[in-house]
Amino acid sequence: MASTKSFVARTSRLSISPLARRRSQISPFVCLPCQQLRHASDNAAKYKRKDTPKTQKKKKTRSTFKEPDLSNAEQFSLCDAMRYIRAFEVGRPPTSAKYEMHIKLRTLKNGPVVRNRLRLPHPVKTDLRICVICPPDSAAADAARKAGASLVGEDNVFEAVKEGKVEFDRCICHVDSLQKLNKAGLGRILGPKGLMPSAKMGTVVKDVATTVRDMVGGAEYRERMGVVRMAIGQLGFSPEEMQRNIKAFVGEVRKDIAQLSDRIAKDVHEVVLSSTNAPGFSLNGDFKGPDSVPTKDLSTL
C-alpha cells in the first residue's frame, strides 16, 4: 500500500511540476479571466433560476375570461333539467327555494359590464320596498304611491336616512329633485348600499310611476366575472312559464350587449339553470327532449 501511495505521489509530483513551472512563466492575464469566467457563470445560473418563473407568470395573465369547450359538457333540455331540479328540491319550503339562471359571456376582463333591470313575465318576488324622492305634493308623488312605492317625499326621506333608518331596497329620484338630493349629502350612507340614485343606473327619471311599476315586479342583474346571474322563477312554475322568463331574460341581456358599443365584442357563451339546492344544468336550448315527461307534471311540488 505504502509503496503504491508513494508511487502515485511521486508520479503526480513529476507530472505537476513541469506544468506549474510553465504556468508561472505564463503571464497572469491568461489565468485571471479564466477564474472570472467561472464566477460569472455561477452568477448567471443564480439569476436564471429567479428569472424563469417571472416570465412564466407574465405569460399567464389573460385579458379574457376562460371559455371552456362546451363539447365536454353534458347539456340538457329545459324539461329534463327541471325534472332533475324538482327531484333535488323535493320537500324544500317552496318560498325559500328558487330557480336561478347563470349566463356566461364571452367577454374581456376589464371592459364595461352588462347591468340593467328587467321585469320578468312572471315575477319571482314581489315584496320590494321602494323609496321615491320627489316633492311630496306633486302629481308624480301620487302616481308613485299608486304604483306601489312605500316611501315618497324629499326632506322627510333625507332626515330618516340621516338618522340611519333605511327602510327600503330601491331608491328612485325624480329629475327635479336631484339637486336637493345631492345637496343633502346622502351619498355616504346610500352609496355603499348601492341605493344612491344616479342617471347612470337609470334611477334618476322623469316618469317615476312607470319605473316603480317596473321595479315592483322587476329584478336587477349585473355581470360579475363574466357571468350574469339572476333568480328566474319560483319552484312552482311550469316549464312554459320558465321558458317565457328565460327567453325574456336572455333576450334582454342580448339587447344590453348590443347597446354597449360597436367595438366591444360580447356574446352569450353558455346558459345554466340551477336552483337553491340543485347542481347547475347547462341548457342546450331545446324545450323538450325526446323522452321528457309531460310538461304539466313538472309544476307540482
153, 197, 218, 226: which one contacts another protein (CB under 8 A)?
226
Torsions phi, psi for 95 (to 5 deg): -80, -25
Shortest approach of another protein to residue 31 CB, angstroms? 33
Shortest approach of another protein to residue 223 CB, angstroms? 11
Binding mask 17-56 for another protein (x = CB under 8 A): ----------------------------------------
Which grid coordinates belong to 172? 328612485
Indicate the residue among 225 and 258 with the shorter CB distance to another protein: 225
70, 139, 264, 265: which one contacts another protein (CB under 8 A)?
70
Order of strands, sheet of 130-133, starting from the edge strand that comes earlier in the sequence? 151-153, 130-133, 170-174, 204-205
Considering only residues 251 through 290, tell me which ones interact with another protein, judged by CB under 8 A: 270, 272, 279-280, 282
Q: Are 97 and 235 in contact (CB under 8 A)?
A: yes
Q: Bridge partners of 228?
A: 103, 223
Torsions phi, psi for 236 (to 5 deg): -85, 0
Cα angle 209-212-214, degrees, rounded to a multiple of 5: 110
106, 119, 122, 254: which one contacts another protein (CB under 8 A)?
122
Reported in sequence order, the residue ranges of 79-238 that DSSP labels E, i.e. its strands, are 98-106, 115-119, 130-133, 151-153, 170-174, 204-205, 218-224, 227-234
Binding of another protein at residue 235 (CB under 8 A)?
yes
Binding site for another protein (CB under 8 A): 66, 68-70, 72-74, 83-84, 86-88, 90-92, 94, 102, 104, 122, 225-227, 234-236, 238, 240-241, 270, 272, 279-280, 282, 293-301
